[in-house]
Structure 1
C-alpha cells in the first residue's frame, strides 16, 4: 500500500509541475551539445605520405582514398595533360597488364578509380590486403602506353568538340577565365589545340612531377585495424619516391573597378546563362568562415534562398537561381550567383540578382532566416556524423587546412553563437554589388539591346564583349544587309524549291512520321500524321503510355492530357489549322502578312528571319534555303514563354526533303527527337482523326 501512495504522489507532482508551465512562451534553447568526435589514428612514412585510419567494424567493408594536396598547377600550352594523366592511371601497371588488372578488380567485387592527383578503392575487408597492393602498384608503377594514350586523347578531343556549342559549358569556362585570367591555373581551359600539343612524354613528366608523396594523404576507413594498415602501407608505399612538386608564380586575380556586364554571343542559345561573380579570399580557418556560409545559404543556398524565391517563385524567370562561395588555402576563390533564364527576361534577371546581393549587404537578415539556416546546418552536421567517411574528411580537413584540433568539436557551439550582425558583416566583406562582374552568355540578337540599357543604382552598366574563348572583341553586328531582290516571298519560294518543288509538294495528300527521344533517362515516342484536308494527329508517349494527344479533324478537335479530354475552342482550332498544313509555306505564298525581319546567325549558318504570324518566327538558311529554326511565343500562366524548334539532318523521302532531327526547347528543357520513319501518301486513315 505504501508503494501505491508513493506512485500516486509522483504522478500528481508531475501533473502539477506540468500544469505550471507557461506554454505560450517558447522555452529557451539549451546549450549546444558537445560533439564527441573520435579522432582517426595516424602515422606517416619517411617519403612524406601521411596516413589516417578510421576503424569501423559495423560492416565488413573498407575504402581507401589517396589525395595529393598540391598547389594549383598551370598547364599552359599543354592544358589537358592532367586530364590525360588521370585517364591513363589505373589502366594496368608495369607488373600487371590492363585486362588482367581489371579482371581481378571485378572478380573481387571491388571498385577502383584514379584522377590526376588522386585514387580511390573499396572492397570487402577480407580483400583489403590485395586491393591495397593493387592500388599502390597502379599508383606507383603506372603503365603509360602509347595505344591507351591515343585512345584517351581522342576521347578528350571528341568531348571538347561537343562542348563548342554547349552554352552552359562555354559559360562556365568564360566565367572562370574572366575571373582569374587565362594565365592562371583556375582560369585556363583545355582546347583541342592544347590537347594536340600533349604527347605521352608530357603525361609521364606530369606524373613524375606531381604524383608524389610530399603532399599526399592516404585515408583508410572501415573494418580494419591500424596495425594491419601500417604494415601494408609500409610494405607497398615505402617505394614511392620522395619528391617535392614544382611551384608556380602567377598574378593574383583582382575584382573589376566597377560593376559591368561581360557578354558572350552564342547565336544557338535558347536561354541566357547569367553569373554575377567577384573574387574573394576565404579560408576554412578564418573566423568569419561559418558566418559567410550562413550568409550565402540565406542568399542562394537552395530552394529557400532569396534568389530562388525571387527569380523562380515570384517572377517565374527561371527554374532555379543559386549562389555559392568557395574557400581555398592556396589561392583566391569566387563568390558566384547564377541563373539560366529565358531570353526575354535576361536584363530583368541581372537586375534582380544584383538587387538581392545589394539587399543582403545593406539590410540585416531576419531572425527567422538566421534561425532556420542555423537549424539546417546543424541538422546536416549531426546527420553527417553517422558516416565514417565524415570523420575521415574532418580529420583530413584539419590536416590540410591547418584548422584547430577542436574545429569540429566546437562546430555547433560556434554555429549557435552566430548573430545577425555577423552575417551582415560577412556579406559586406565577401559579396559585392559595386564591383561585380556580370557574365552573360546568350543570344545577342535577342538580349543585347536590353542588356545595354540596364541601370543599377542610377547608373547604366557598361557592357564589354568577349568571344567563346574569353578574348576581348567588338560588339556583334546583327544588322547585316539583305541582298537586293531578296524578299519574304523569294525566301519562301527558295525553300519550297529546295525541298522538292511546288508541283511535288501539292501532289502529296498525307504523311505519317514516327520519332523518338530520351528525356531524363526515359524514352519518348512521337507520332505525327497530317493530311491535305485540315487533319492532324499528334501523340506523344512515354514508356508506351500517351502523355498528350492532339487531334484536328477539319472544324473539330480535342486534346487529351493524362487521360483527360478537352474539346478545342474555335480560336484554338484556327491556330492549330496553321500547324495542320502539310507544308505551311505553300500558304505563305498567298499571304500578305509574312515579312522579312532581317538576317542573323543560327548556329554557324547565316539565316533569313521571316515573321510568319504574330507568334511565329521562322529562319531559313541563306545559302541552301532550308528551314533551320522556328520560334513560337505563347502565354502560359500569365508569362510569355518561348518555344524553339531546330530542324537538322535533312533526308529525301519520295522526292521531298524532310528534317530527320528535331530539337525542341522551352526554357532550360531540351528534347532531341530523331525521326525513325516517314511515309508519304500511306500509313494514314480516317480513324486516326476520330
Structure 2
C-alpha cells in the first residue's frame, strides 16, 4: 500500500501598523489564466480522411487517434453487430497473424487497440512510422474469421448473462428504453438472440458500410514533424476507399407529460437504484452550455454538490449520489442517480426531488458559484496538459463545429456565468415536472412506501415492457419451516440418503475478469467446513475459510479474522452440508413468506444472518442471501443454485452463482461424497 504524504505549507502574512498602509486599496483580482491548447496543422486525404497534427516535443512519444464520426444508427434484430465488428478488428490482418501483430506491438512497447468507430495507438516516437503502419493495417485489412466471431459472441453473451442480476445494469437499460424508445439507437439493447442473429457476413457488410473515411478523423500528437508524418499518413491510408456512411434520422424522444416513478421489480435486490431522467438537447455551441454544466456541478456533479451532501453526508443513505449532463450534437439525457438501502428508497426519492426544486427555485450563493468555478477550472487546467485531452479537444472542435478559440476562451466562458444564468439553465434542463424517476429494487419492500409519496407510479419489467404492479403472494397457512425443510430433503433424495452423508467435497471453476478462479469446499456433518477461493494462474488465494469443533476463521489476502462466540456457533450450523438440519424447533429461524427469485416463486426461511429460498414447485433450494458486517455497514451477498445432479443418491447443485459486487458463475466439475475429506482439512 502506498503511503500518502501530505505536505502542509503555512503562509505567514506580515501586517504593518502604519495607517497609510492600512488604507491602501486591496488589489484587484488578476486576469483569468490563459490556456494554450495545441493548434493542429491540418490536411485532408482524397478519400475524405481529415488529419490533424499537433507537434509536441517535450517527450519522445506519439499518439494516433482514429475516430469515425458517423451519425447514430439502430441495429434492430442484429443488435451487437457493431460490438462484434469492433471486437474483431485488430485480431491480426490479412497479411499478419494475430500473434505476430501482438508480438510486434509488445516488442515496441506500444499500445494499439480498435473499435467499430476507429482505433488508437501510442508509443515511442522512434517507432512512430511502424506504429502508424500497424494501426492502418489493423483498421483497413481486418481478418474476419468465423472462429474469432464465435469466440467474441461467447464473450458478449457471457457478459450479458452475468449482468442480468445486476440492479445497476438493469437500471441503465430500462432508463434508456424508457427515455429514448427501443427503436432508437440510444434505447435498443443487446440480447442473446440479437447477438446470435449476427453472421460473419453481417460483420463484413457492417464494416464495409460504416468503417469508411468520409467522416473519419486522425489526430496525431507528439514528437513528430508535420511534413514527415503527413507523408507517412498519406502512404498508410491511401488504400482506404472513399465512401460515406448512411445518415439515418430518428424522431426526437419526448419527455413524459408529468413526473412519475417508473418501477422495476428485482426481488433479489439488496438495495435500490434511483435515477432521475429526462432527455435534453444541449449542444456545446449553445449560449447556455457553460451555465448548464455549472448548474450540474452544483446540483450533483461533484462531491460537495447539493445531492451528495444531502443523500450521503447528511443522511448516510448512499456511498455517493451524482448527476450528469453533457453537450452533444444529438439528443442526450440528464440523469441524477444514487443507490440506497431498500428501507430508505422512498425518503431518498423525496430528498432528490427536493434538491431538484432547490436548484431550480433558489439562487445559488455567489460563494458557492465561485468555489465551483474554481474547482472546475482547476480540473480543466490539469487535464489540458495531457496529450489525450488535446486530441479530444481537437476532435470536438471539428465534429461539434466549435470556434477555433473555443478552448482558449473556456476559462473566460466559465467565469462569465452568472447566478441568474445558473438558475435559468437548471429550470430548462432539470425538468422537475416532466421527469422519469426510474427505481429498480425489491418491490415487496419498497413499493408500499413509494406509493405514499403520491408520485404517480407505473411498473415495467427488466426490459422496459409495461407490466402489472407486482403482487406478493400469500402462503398457505399450513406452510411452516418444518414443511419446507421436509420438502427440500425429499427433493434432494430423502432423509435416509441424506443421513448417510458424512462428508461432501465440491470442486468448481469460474472466471473473474478473464481470470480462471477455483472455488473448492469441503464439509462434514459434524460441523467442519473448509473453503478455498484462488486464482491458480497467479498462485493467489483470495479467500480461505476454516471451521472446526473449536474455532473458525476467515483469511482474505493475508488478513485473518477469528470467529468466536455466538457468531462461531451460527457459522458452524449454517456451513453444515445440509444447514436445514438445524432449522427445526429453532425459535430464531422463521418462515417469512413467498418471494420471487429470478422469476421463480420461492418460500423464504430467515435465520439470524441469512435468508434461504426454496422453489415452491420443486422444493429445491435455489438461493441464499447472507449478511456480513463491514464496519458500521451491513453487506449482503447472494448465492444461486441450479442444475441439480444425483451423486450417491443425493442431489447437489452443479451450477453456483456468487453475487457480491460482481457476479461469478461457478461450474461444479465434481462432488465427492464420503471420501477425500479429513479432519486436517478444517484446521
Instruction: State the partner residue of 1:78.
Output: 78
Q: How far apart, CA to CA, are the structure 2 residues paired with 1:593 and 1:509?
A: 21
Correspondence for 2:269? 269
Match of 1:545 in 2: 559
Give the secondary-structure state (helix, strand or coil) at the position aligned to 2:230. Answer: helix
1:479-494 maps to which residues of 2 (within 5 A)? 479=473, 482=476, 485-494=478-487
Inter-CA distance 510–206: structure 2 relative to 1 (3 Å threshold): closer
Shift of 1:485: 4.8
Aligned length: 640
Alignment match, 2:11? none
Rg bigger for which structure?
Answer: 1
Residues 152-231 of structure 1: pairs in structure 2 closer than 5 A? 152-231=152-231
Distance 1:628 1:610 in 2: 12
1:341-356 maps to which residues of 2 (within 5 A)?
A: 341-356=340-355
Note the alpha carbon deviations across 1:220-251, whole angstroms, 9 max, x for none: 11111000111112222222211221121221
**1:528 equivalenced with 2:546 (yes/no):** yes
Name the CA shift for 1:642/1:99 in 2 (closer, same or farther; >3 Å).
closer
Q: Which residue does the alignment assign to 1:9?
A: none
> Map of 1:118-517 to 2, 5 A cutoff?
118-329=118-329, 331-453=330-452, 455=453, 460-479=454-473, 482=476, 485-497=478-490, 508-516=525-533
Q: Name the residue aligned to 1:7.
A: none
Q: 1:374 Cα deviation (Å)? A: 0.8
Query: 1:316: how far off?
Result: 1.7
1:142-194 per-residue CA deviation (whole Å, 9 max, x = no partner) reads 22223322322232223223233232222211111111111111111121222
Report the Cα distance in structure 2 between the residues aligned to 1:145 and 1:579, rounded to whole angstroms. 50
Partner residue, 1:106: 106
In structure 2, how many angstroms separate the alpha carbons of the residues matched to 1:23 and 1:647?
A: 76
Cα distance change, pair 662–155 in 1 and its aligned pair in 2 (3 A)? closer
* 2:594 counterpart residue number: 599
TM score, norm. by length of structure 2: 0.84
Shift of 1:579: 6.1
- Deviation (angstroms), 1:24: 12
Conservation of the 8 A alpha-carbon contact between 1:512 and 1:680 = no
Q: Secondary structure at the match of 1:227?
A: helix
Q: 1:677 to 1:489 in 2, by over 3 A?
A: closer
- Aligned pair 1:60/2:53, yes or no? no
Native 8 Å contact 1:643 1:664 kept in 2: no
Moved more, 164-173 or 93-102: 93-102
| More moved, 291-300 vs 382-391 | 382-391
SS in structure 1 at match of 2:378 = helix
Q: Is the 8 A contact 1:505 1:583 kept in 2?
A: no
Structure 1 residue 124: Cα displacement = 1.8
Alignment partners' CA distance in 2, 1:581 and 1:132: 60
Please give the per-residue CA displacement for 1:601-627, whole angstroms capped at 9, x wherever unaligned: 2224331123556x7644223244344
Separation (CA, whole Å) in 1 of partners of 2:627 and 2:109: 53
**Relative to 1, partners in 2 of residues 1:326 and 1:198: Cα closer, same or farther, differing over 3 Å?**
same
Larger CA deviation: 152-161 vs 175-184: 152-161
Secondary structure of 2:528's counterpart equals strand
Structure 1 residue 500: deviation in Å? Answer: 7.0
Q: Does the 8 A contact of 1:512 with 1:678 survive in 2? A: no
Kept after mapping to 1: 8 A contact 2:299/2:359: yes
Change (3 A) 1:232 1:592: closer
In structure 1, how many angstroms separate the alpha carbons of the residues matched to 2:370 and 2:665?
A: 45
Distance 2:25 2:640 in 1: 65
After superposition, the C-alpha distances for 1:424-467 in whole angstroms (9 at most, x for unaligned) are: 111111112211101112222222222222x2xxxx11211112
What secondary structure is seen at the aligned counterpart in 2 of 1:318? coil
- Alignment RMSD (CA, Å): 3.6
Q: Secondary structure at the match of 1:96?
A: coil
- In structure 1, the gaps of 5 or more residues are 1-13, 552-556, 558-567
Which sits farther off after the overlay, 88-97 or 47-56?
88-97
Whether the aligned pair in 2 keeps the contact of 1:510 and 1:680 (CA below 8 Å) is: no
Q: Following the alignment from structure 2 to structure 1, what is the Cα–Cα distance between the partners of residues 559 and 672?
A: 22
1:494–1:15 Cα change, 3 Å: closer
1:7-86 residue pairs with structure 2 within 5 A?
22=22, 28-86=28-86
Change (3 A) 1:132 1:310: same
Once the two structures are TM-superposed, the CA of residue 63 in structure 1 deviates from its matched residue by 1.0
* Cα distance, 1:633–1:122 mapped onto 2, change above 3 Å: closer
How far apart are residue 41 of structure 1 and its match? 1.2
TM-score (norm 1): 0.83
Shift of 1:672: 9.0
Contact 2:221 2:387 in 1 (8 A): yes
**Alpha-carbon distance between aligned partners in 2 of 1:69 and 1:541, rounded to the nearest angstrom:** 50
1:355 Cα deviation from its structure 2 partner: 1.4
- Say which SS state the counterpart of residue 221 (structure 1) adopts: strand
Whether the 8 Å contact between 2:611 and 2:626 is mirrored in structure 1 is yes
Comparing 102-111 with 240-249, which one deviates more in the overlay?
102-111
